[in-house]
């Protein structure tokens, strides 16, 4: 069985599910799973279907299905539709910072097959990430940065990512505690294509030393947030969040340890959801089909 997907968003109206399912049925494309959601007059849907009984459909057949869907369904219903065909392994680039727990966890999950993707390279402004990349047999690019060289360093990163894109495609950029603010130009060039992990349950305790802020306030919950990066710092659409209970007995070190565990799992969850085409962005929000 060869599973394909189509993601849909459009104004809500009667008959959308019937039109989509009828289109696929008329072409002998059996629906394997379907999920839908409506919100404020908008309709969202994710459909998995058998695309060809074991063989990857030829490119011309895939293109014909997409053209026919656009003419028969998407156009008349003012619909955005995104087809995802099997056969190509998705590719991600990892930007790592000085704290390597998120990058190490992510690369381990890829190496074990838990995350189904290929890592094109690891980029960091810290040399320590090189040893981590070497452990997994990955290309490492060390690009130091200072306030004076920040713009030039970002251009170097963009050139490397363009190289990946030309060399087989690039589906996602992951900021694994990269801790550098990206320019609006960089972020806007990759809409819903950069995932960041924030060491806080946004919007609380944003900024520097969040666990120390939490400790000083005597919080009973700490959290982590993974979201798409946008030009508005830490304001991008949220994909995944988790919390952990803490108490007055916990030290700052305890909060840091628990927080890092959350960061690892929340970032991996967001990447998995993205790779599995389970996220649709709608304005400042996401619809996540779990």
Each residue's pLDDT tens digit, 242-252: 999 989 999 99
Same domain assignment for residues 255 and 145? yes
Q: What is the DSSP letter of 34?
A: E
Listed residues 24, 57, 84: the one ending a domain: 84
Same domain assignment for residues 58 and 128? no
Structural domain range at position 154:
91-288
Listed residues 26, 57, 84: the one ending a domain: 84
Alpha helices in the chain (DSSP H): 16-26, 59-69, 101-111, 128-135, 150-166, 184-188, 210-217, 252-275
Same domain assignment for residues 73 and 99? no
**For residue 35, what is the domain's CATH number?**
3.30.70.260
Has 131 been annotated as catalytic?
no
User: Cα 20 to chain center, whole Å?
Assistant: 26
Same domain assignment for residues 49 and 173? no
Half-sphere exposure of 115 (CA within 13 A, CB side): 24
How do residues 113-166 score in pLDDT, each as one tens digit?
A: 999 999 999 999 999 999 999 999 999 999 999 999 999 999 999 999 999 999
Place of tokens 């089909």: 289
Instruction: List CB contacts of 228: < 8 A, sequence separation 6 or more.
Output: 192, 193, 194, 195, 196, 236, 237, 239, 281, 286
Domain count, the chain: 2
Alpha helices in 72-177 (DSSP H): 101-111, 128-135, 150-166
Q: Which two tokens stand for residue 112?
A: 């074990």
Q: Which helix (H) or strand (E) holds 123?
A: strand 118-124
Q: The pTM is what?
A: 0.91
Predicted local confidence at residue 204, as pLDDT: 62
Same domain assignment for residues 36 and 104? no
Same domain assignment for residues 123 and 258? yes
Given the residues 50, 72, 141, 234, select the one marked as catalytic.
Answer: 234
Half-sphere exposure of 31 (CA within 13 A, CB side): 16
Same domain assignment for residues 158 and 228? yes
Same domain assignment for residues 96 and 43? no
Same domain assignment for residues 140 and 65? no
Same domain assignment for residues 120 and 77? no
Listed residues 84, 110, 131: the one ending a domain: 84
203: cis peptide before it, omega within 30°?
yes
- Phi, psi for 188 (deg, rounded to 5): -65, -20
User: Cα 22 to chain center, whole Å?
Assistant: 31
What residues are paired with 286 via a beta bridge?
Answer: 281
Q: What is the DSSP letter of 201?
A: S
Same domain assignment for residues 252 and 141? yes
pLDDT truncated to tens, each residue of the chain (290 aa)? Answer: 689 999 999 999 999 999 999 999 999 999 999 999 999 899 999 999 998 765 566 788 899 999 999 999 999 999 999 999 988 899 999 999 999 999 999 999 999 999 999 999 999 999 999 999 999 999 999 999 999 999 999 999 999 999 999 999 999 999 999 999 999 999 999 999 999 998 877 656 667 787 787 777 676 888 899 999 999 888 899 999 999 998 999 999 998 999 999 999 999 999 999 999 999 999 989 999 99
Decide: 122 and 132 in contact? Cβ < 8 Å.
yes
Same domain assignment for residues 104 and 120? yes
Distances (CA, A) of 195 to 32, 209, 226: 28, 21, 7
């Amino acid at each position: 069985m060869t599973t394909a997907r189509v993601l849909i968003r459009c104004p809500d109206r009667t008959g959308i599910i019937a039109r989509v399912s009828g289109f696929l049925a008329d072409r002998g494309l059996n629906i394997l799973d379907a999920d839908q959601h409506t919100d404020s007059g908008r309709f969202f849907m994710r459909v998995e279907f058998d695309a060809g009984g074991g063989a990857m459909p030829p490119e011309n057949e895939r293109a014909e299905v997409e053209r026919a869907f656009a003419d028969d369904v998407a156009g008349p219903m003012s619909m955005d539709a995104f087809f995802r065909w099997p056969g190509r392994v998705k590719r991600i680039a990892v930007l790592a910072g000085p704290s390597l727990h998120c990058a190490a966890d992510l690369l381990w999950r890829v190496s074990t097959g838990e995350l189904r993707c290929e890592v094109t390279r690891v980029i960091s402004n810290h040399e320590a990430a090189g040893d981590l990349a070497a452990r997994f047999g990955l290309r490492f690019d060390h690009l130091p940065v200072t306030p004076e060289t920040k713009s030039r360093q970002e251009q170097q990163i963009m050139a490397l990512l363009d190289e990946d894109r030309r060399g087989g495609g690039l589906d996602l950029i992951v900021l694994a505690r990269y801790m550098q603010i990206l320019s609006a130009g960089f972020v806007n060039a990759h809409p819903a294509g950069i995932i960041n992990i924030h060491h806080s349950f946004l919007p609380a305790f944003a900024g520097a030393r969040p666990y120390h802020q939490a400790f000083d306030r005597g919080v009973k919950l700490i959290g982590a947030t993974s979201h798409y990066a946008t030009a508005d710092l830490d304001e991008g659409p949220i994909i995944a969040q988790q919390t952990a209970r803490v108490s007055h007995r916990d030290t700052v070190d305890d909060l840091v340890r628990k927080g890092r565990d959350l960061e690892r799992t929340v970032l991996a969850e967001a990447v998995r959801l993205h790779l599995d085409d389970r996220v649709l962005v709608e304005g400042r929000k996401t619809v996540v089909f779990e």
